Structure 1
Amino acid sequence: MVNESTRLSAQDWARVALKAIADGGLAAVAVEPLARTLGVTKGSFYAHYRNRDELIAAALAEWVHHAEEGLAEFAVIADPAQRLRELLTAVLRTVQPLAPSVHLSLLGDRNDPRVRDAVRRVNRARLDMLASTYRELGLTPDRAASRARVAYAAILGLSHLTQTDPDAPRPAALADEAAAVFLTS
């Protein structure tokens, strides 16, 4: 909880809205419950945003930024095989069983143009990273793009299973298996 005298930033509101989206999609973004979560009055919200739509746009922008920023740490790994292994491992090992996911929650709101754009941007950044890595591993551009799509689909599927199935194998075991599969030619 935030002390009422503590000044929240617009980013604080966007982050709590993003957590609400992960928990329940866009419908979960409501000013009064978010203010309670932050331990402030809704007046704090209006110091930063005119309305809920602005907050949703800011939360989605925060998600896109976080996703792109997260990829940057892998882009600096010179060895493409190690980059791919570490990327797969990081994604699957950081997923907590039954934990909410922004990406999965947004699928329920995929008809909203703001959501479509944010998901498209995140998907594009992730696919570009994977395709580039596969090109560096020696695949042709077309084959690298295809392999990137299959690997990304598997990552999303494994992430979904890890988050929704309490009996799923440990994320570390899934990461090791995924790395073995997606590092073969």
Structure 2
Amino acid sequence: MSGTEQKRKLARQDWILAGLRALVKGGIAAVKVEPLARAIGATKGSFYWHFNDLADLHQAMLELWEELATKAITAAVKGSGLDGRGQLMLLIDTISVRPGDVYGGVEVEPALRDWGRTDLRARAVVERVDRQRLQDLQDFLRAAGVTVAELETKAHLIYAAVIGFENLRLTTNAEMGPVLRTLVAELVDGR
């Protein structure tokens, strides 16, 4: 068999992404080795090559989400070279993009939050992500010229709108970008 005919070797990331997709479809109870192996065309042995057990996979899923949902977005926005207001609007545009199906689509974050309601480890990560996002929002608002006295309130208003829209687009297919841009402009510019 030639190299092009050989099956692609699965990486740890393939299992993590399959775990996120399973979480979206059936909650944490759906994240099991055999169904995941079938979904990605692998063996249980492949799973145990990459993970000690399901708890190890769960931790990796949470770590990937935390990295993508906080550090990666903030670094990209801060590295844009835009002024403070421009960075804030880029942040809104970035978080308004629908997550790809490879990550579980638009339902991934609500599924992770739901998991956090029943699992202490997941809850700790959700809480840490929320705190980091609120801090990052305050930093972006400060750079956009919002006064220190208004930072916390305005960050909470924006973040509450983001979480609300993430859920609303599940039931109404609402686009969050335009409304969030209007909200942010009003909060920053007083329009």
The 5 Å alignment of 1:170-181 reads: 170-181=175-186
CA RMSD of aligned residues (A): 2.3
**What SS is found at the alignment partner of 1:18?**
helix
Aligned to 1:150: 157
Aligned to 2:65: 63
Residues 1:130 and 2:133 aligned together: no
In the TM superposition, structure 1's runs of 4+ consecutive aligned residues that sit over 4 Å from their partners are none
Structure 1: 5+ residue stretches without partners: none
Aligned to 1:52: 54
Structure 2: 5+ residue stretches without partners: none
Aligned to 1:120: 127
TM-score by length of 1: 0.84
Q: Structure 1 residue 4: deviation in Å?
A: 7.9
Residues 1:87 and 2:91 aligned together: yes
CA deviation profile, 1:2-53 (whole Å, cap 9, x unmatched)? x984322222211211222233332221111111111111111011112111
**What SS is found at the alignment partner of 1:174?**
helix
Residues 1:106 and 2:108 aligned together: no
Are the counterparts in 1 of residues 162 and 180 from structure 2 also a CA contact under 8 Å? no
Aligned to 1:24: 26
Are the counterparts in 2 of residues 75 and 83 from structure 1 also a CA contact under 8 Å? yes
- More RCO (CA 8 Å, sep 6+): 1
Q: Tell me which moved more, 108-117 or 147-156.
A: 108-117
Q: Structure 1 residue 136: deviation in Å?
A: 2.0
Residues 1:184 and 2:186 aligned together: no
CA deviation profile, 1:67-121 (whole Å, cap 9, x unmatched)? 221221112244111111121122224368xx44222112322231111121122
CA deviation profile, 1:138-173 (whole Å, cap 9, x unmatched)? 33434212211111111111121122214x3x4443
Are the counterparts in 1 of residues 158 and 184 from structure 2 also a CA contact under 8 Å? no
**Residues 108/118 of structure 1: CA separation in 2 closer, same or farther (3 Å cut):** same
- Alignment counterpart, residue 73 of structure 1, candidates 68, 73, 76: 76
Percent identity of the aligned residues?
33
Distance 2:112 2:8 in 1: 31
Distance 2:48 2:127 in 1: 29
